[in-house]
């Protein structure tokens, strides 16, 4: 196969930042994706419908001339989010979900939820108006091993949450373990996004020849057995699993220091990365549904009508791409890839 033509995909988990950083990275996403679920963890975070409307306007203003892109907005859940804000979000038509970050779990999550049960009134309102909940599914207890935090979150928080609110639609984002795969497969009203780094790499990539900060993300890369389970889920044809890059732009000097930021930058070449993973699994025939159908179906949005084409050709991921006051190092920088979106 020398070319692969599929329905234009969507990115169901994306970090765009703001200001000059937004303008630098947005063209990479627009080149590939028609829509994206935009994360709300700015400083300050996007906590209200008014915040989301203003951020949406800034994103649309940054779309390159002559190109189209629809940002799908989210609200940042806090201990103080009100049910009234949930109703307003649903009525807005442009806020598509609410994002849960455990306080301190990842980048700009300091204002996140301190105790998930404090939000039960909000979850009840979300269940009533059918607004999805997006979960960063890790516990923050320092007594829990870093590589077990997703598994423990499912056991201690997600299972009880779904028992309390059985009709709440949930996305367990950027899953990293076979435990998450098994739970999503077995539970109702839940789906999961999977990143390119968790399909292509295991935790060895963090330490090959030294510490490799550009493979460091949260949730962290796991053992090979978990990567294999994720790849099997992504290529299975199960509509509960769909594309979400979690592409997170951090300047090089914030990644390569004594306390490097968590996040992989994949927006530059996301579809090429996913195509590489699916080809390795001999499952290119399953890529279109994973990238272009299952996410829009879960979010109850129409599928895109345009198409994109990937061509079998060797090219090299650049070592860096421009970024305000610094540069970005894309995921798998300097490596040859076998597919290119044209």
pLDDT in tens, 234-261: 999 999 999 999 999 999 999 999 999 9
Instruction: Give the pLDDT confidence score for residue 196 in this predicted structure.
Output: 98
Q: Is 246 a catalytic residue?
A: yes
Q: Provide the b/e sequence for 135-146 (b: ≥16 CB within 10 Å).
A: bbbbbbeeeeee
List, for residues 151-167, the tens digit of each pLDDT value: 999 999 999 999 999 99
> Mean pLDDT of all residues in the chain?
97
- Determine the CATH number of domain 8-305: 3.20.20.140
Between 120-129 and 83-92, two packed helices, what is the crossing angle to 10 degrees? 30
| Mode of pairing for the β-strands spanning 11-14 and 35-38 | parallel
Residue 50 pLDDT more than 80?
yes
Q: Give the start-to-end residue ranges of the domains of the chain.
A: 8-305
List, for residues 293-342, the tens digit of each pLDDT value: 999 999 999 999 999 999 999 999 999 999 998 999 999 999 999 999 98
Residue 168 pLDDT more than 90?
yes
Instruction: Give the pLDDT confidence score for residue 103 in this predicted structure.
Output: 83
d(C-alpha 112, C-alpha 114), whole Å: 6
Query: What DSSP assignment string belongs to 83-97?
Result: HHHHHHHHHHSSEEE
**What percentage of the chain carries pLDDT values higher than 90?**
96
Say if pTM beats, i.e. exceeds, 0.85.
yes
Instruction: Give the pLDDT confidence score for residue 105 in this predicted structure.
Output: 66
Dihedral sign for Cα 143, 149, 151, 153, please: positive
**Of 246, 285, 297, 336, which residue is the catalytic one?**
246
d(C-alpha 117, C-alpha 11), whole Å: 29
- CB neighbours of 23 closer than 8 A, spacing ≥ 6? 62
Residue 108 pLDDT more than 70?
no
């Amino acid at each position: 196969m020398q070319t692969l033509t599929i329905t234009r995909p969507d990115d169901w988990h994306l970090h765009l930042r703001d200001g000059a950083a937004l303008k630098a990275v947005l063209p990479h996403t627009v080149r590939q994706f028609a829509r994206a679920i935009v994360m709300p963890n700015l400083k300050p975070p996007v906590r209200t419908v008014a915040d989301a409307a203003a951020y949406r306007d800034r994103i649309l203003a940054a779309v390159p001339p002559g190109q189209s892109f629809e940002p799908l907005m989210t609200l940042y859940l806090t201990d103080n989010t009100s049910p009234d804000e949930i109703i307003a979000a649903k009525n807005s038509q442009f806020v598509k979900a609410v994002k849960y970050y455990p306080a301190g779990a990842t980048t700009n999550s300091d204002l996140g939820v301190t105790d998930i049960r404090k939000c039960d009134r909000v979850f009840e309102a979300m269940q009533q108006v059918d607004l999805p909940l997006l979960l960063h599914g890790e516990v923050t207890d320092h007594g829990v091993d870093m590589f077990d935090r997703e598994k423990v979150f499912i056991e201690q928080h997600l299972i009880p949450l779904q028992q309390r609110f059985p009709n709440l639609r949930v996305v367990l984002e950027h899953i990293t373990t076979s435990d998450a795969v098994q739970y999503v497969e077995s539970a109702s009203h839940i789906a999961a996004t999977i990143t390119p780094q968790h399909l292509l790499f295991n935790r060895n990539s963090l330490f090959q020849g030294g510490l490799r900060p550009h493979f460091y993300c949260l949730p962290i890369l796991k053992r090979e057995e978990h990567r294999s389970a994720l790849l099997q889920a992504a290529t299975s044809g199960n509509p509960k699993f769909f594309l979400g890059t979690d592409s997170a732009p951090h300047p090089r000097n914030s990644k390569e220091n004594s306390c490097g930021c968590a996040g992989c930058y994949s927006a530059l070449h996301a579809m090429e990365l996913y195509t590489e993973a699916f080809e390795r699994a001999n499952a290119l025939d399953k890529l279109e549904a994973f990238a272009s159908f299952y996410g829009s179906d879960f979010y109850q949005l129409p599928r895109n009508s345009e198409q994109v084409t990937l061509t079998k050709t060797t090219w090299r991921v650049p070592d860096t791409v421009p970024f305000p006051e610094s540069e970005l190092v894309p995921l798998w920088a300097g490596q040859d890839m076998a597919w290119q979106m044209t």
